Amino acid sequence: MFAGQSSFSHIRNSVMNFLKTVARKIVFPAITATGLERILSTFSTRQTVILMYHGVVPEANHLLSVNHIGLETFGRHLEYIRKRFSVIPLQEAFSNFRQGIHPEKKSVVLTFDDGYENNYTYAYPLLKNAGLPATLFVTAQCLSDPEMLLWYDTLDLCCDLIDYAGLKGGIRLPGRENGESMQEITGLSGLRKMLKSLNRESKQQLLSGLIDREKAVKRISTISPDYYRLLRKSQIREMADSGLIEIGSHTMYHPNLDVLNEGELAFELSSSKKLLEDATGKKVISLAFPDGAYNEPVKQKAVTSGYENLLAADYRLATDYSDMNIQPRFSISNTTTAESGFIQIQMAFQKSGI
Ligand SMILES: [Zn+2]
C-alpha cells in the first residue's frame, strides 16, 4: 500500500465519521421533529412491521454487549411508535397475513429475543403502563438452569480471557472426523461464527477449553446481571398472566437450528415448548429462530412440533414468500440515537411483505 493511499483512507474515514455524527446529532433530530421522516413509510405497500429487540438496560454499554438498548432510548421508541402507528399482538399480525387483511393504519408488532430478565425489569413496566402488547421469545434453558448464561454472552463478556494462543494454527473441531476438523480461527468474530456451526455439546467442550472457568466466574461476578441474567419462572408466569405478553420459544439452548441433526432439532423445538407451556399454563405457538438460522427441514419440523407462527430475521428461502407460517422481522440498532431508530422503524415499512 502507498503512504498516500493510507492517508487518503484515513481522511475518508474521518469525513465519514463526521458526516455520521452530523446526521445523528443534527439532521435526524431535525427531520423527526417535523415528522418529515413519515414519508419513508407513507408510500410503502407494507402495512405491518415486526420489530425485534433483545435486552433493555438502564445504561447501554456497547463495549460489554451490543444486545441491549438503553432504557431512555427504548422509552422514546415506544412513545414514537404509539404516536405514529397501531401496536398489535403478533397473533393478530399473522391472522391478518393469513386472511389477506391489510390494517387501515400502519401497524407495529413488538418482539424481544433471548429472554433476558431485563425485559421483565425494565421493558415490561413501560409496556404495561402504555397497554402495549409484545411477544417475548425465551431461551428455555432459563427454566431448567436459572444461573446459566447464553453461550454467546459467555463469549462476549469474557472475550479478553480467551486463550487465542491455543487457537494458533487452527483448532480441531470436536465431533468432526473429516477434512473439516481443523479450522483456522481469526479473532472473536471468526470464533463466534465457528461456534454457531456446532451443536451444544461440541460448543461447550470447545468453550471450556478456551476460557478458564474460574476466571470466567470471577469476571461475570463483576458485571451487572442486567447484561446477562435470564428470566425467572415467576416473571415469565406473571407476564403471561397479564394477557399483554405472549411467551414464544427461542429454543432450548439457542443453537443455529440448521446445523443440528434430526434428534437435536426435535429436542430444541419440543423441550423448549413443553417447559414454557408448563411455566405459563398457556400454549406456546410462536417460535423465533436463533440467529435467524433455518432451512426447509427446520421450518417443517417446527410446524409439525406445534408451532404456528415462525419468525425469521431476513427471509432465507424462496418458499418463504408464499409461506403463511413465516414472517421476517426488523432489528433496530441498539448502538445509535433514538432519532436514528425512528428513521429505521419508518424504513422497515419499505421492505416487501405483508
Ligand atoms: Zn437470539
Residue 309 Cα to ligand 1 midpoint, Å, equals: 16
Residue 301 CA from chain centroid, whole number = 22
Q: Is the predicted pLDDT of residue 320 greater than 60, yes or no?
A: yes
pLDDT tens digits along 5-15: 567 777 777 77
Residue 136 Cα to ligand 1 midpoint, Å, equals: 11
Tell me what the pLDDT averaged over the chain comes to. Answer: 88
Q: Where are the alpha helices (DSSP H) in the chain?
A: 3-22, 28-34, 39-42, 71-84, 90-99, 117-118, 124-130, 141-144, 151-157, 187-196, 200-210, 213-221, 233-241, 262-280, 296-304, 338-348
pLDDT tens digits along 81-119: 999 999 999 999 999 999 999 888 999 999 999 999 999
Q: Is the predicted pLDDT of residue 136 greater than 50, yes or no?
A: yes
Q: Is the predicted pLDDT of residue 206 greater than 90, yes or no?
A: no
| Domain locations in the chain as residue ranges | 48-146+230-334, 151-221
Q: What is the 3-state secondary structure (H, E, C) of 76-145?
A: HHHHHHHHHCEECCHHHHHHHHHHCCCCCCCEEEEEEEECEHHHHHHHHHHHHHHCCCEEEEECCHHHHC
pLDDT tens digits along 269-306: 999 999 999 999 999 999 999 999 999 999 999 999 99
Residue type at position 335: T
Residue 225 Cα to ligand 1 midpoint, Å, equals: 18
- Can you tell me which residue has the cell 419440523? 301
Nearest partner of 337 among 123, 122, 79, 69, judged by Cα: 69
Residue type at position 241: D
Contact 324, 339 (CB under 8 A): no
pLDDT band for 21, please (50, 70, 90 cuts).
Answer: confident
Alpha carbon distances (Å) from 30 to 33, 35, 257, 340, 342: 5, 9, 43, 11, 12
pLDDT above 70: percentage of residues in the chain = 88
Residue 183 Cα to ligand 1 midpoint, Å, equals: 25
Residue 250 Cα to ligand 1 midpoint, Å, equals: 7
CA angle 97, 38, 133 (to 5 degrees): 45
Residue 114 Cα to ligand 1 midpoint, Å, equals: 5
Residue 269 Cα to ligand 1 midpoint, Å, equals: 14
Residue 299 Cα to ligand 1 midpoint, Å, equals: 17
Residue 56 Cα to ligand 1 midpoint, Å, equals: 14
CA atoms within 13 Å, Cβ hemisphere of 97: 26
Q: Is the predicted pLDDT of residue 37 greater than 90, yes or no?
A: no
Query: Is 272 or 204 the better-scoring residue by pLDDT?
Result: 272
Residue type at position 149: L
Residue 271 CA from chain centroid, whole number = 21
- The separation between the first and the last C-alpha atoms of the chain, rounded to the nearest angstrom, is 48
Residue type at position 65: S
C-alpha cell at 212: 478458564
Residue 220 Cα to ligand 1 midpoint, Å, equals: 20
Residue 35 Cα to ligand 1 midpoint, Å, equals: 33
Residue 53 Cα to ligand 1 midpoint, Å, equals: 10
**Which range is most confident: 168-182, 185-199, 284-298?**
284-298
CATH class of 48-146+230-334: alpha beta
C-alpha to C-alpha distance for 175 and 34, rounded to whole angstroms: 58
C-alpha to C-alpha distance for 110 and 206, rounded to whole angstroms: 35
User: What integer pLDDT is reported at residue 93 of this predicted model?
Assistant: 96
Q: Is the predicted pLDDT of residue 130 greater than 60, yes or no?
A: yes
User: What integer pLDDT is reported at residue 172 of this predicted model?
Assistant: 57
Contact 17, 65 (CB under 8 A): no
Residue 34 Cα to ligand 1 midpoint, Å, equals: 35
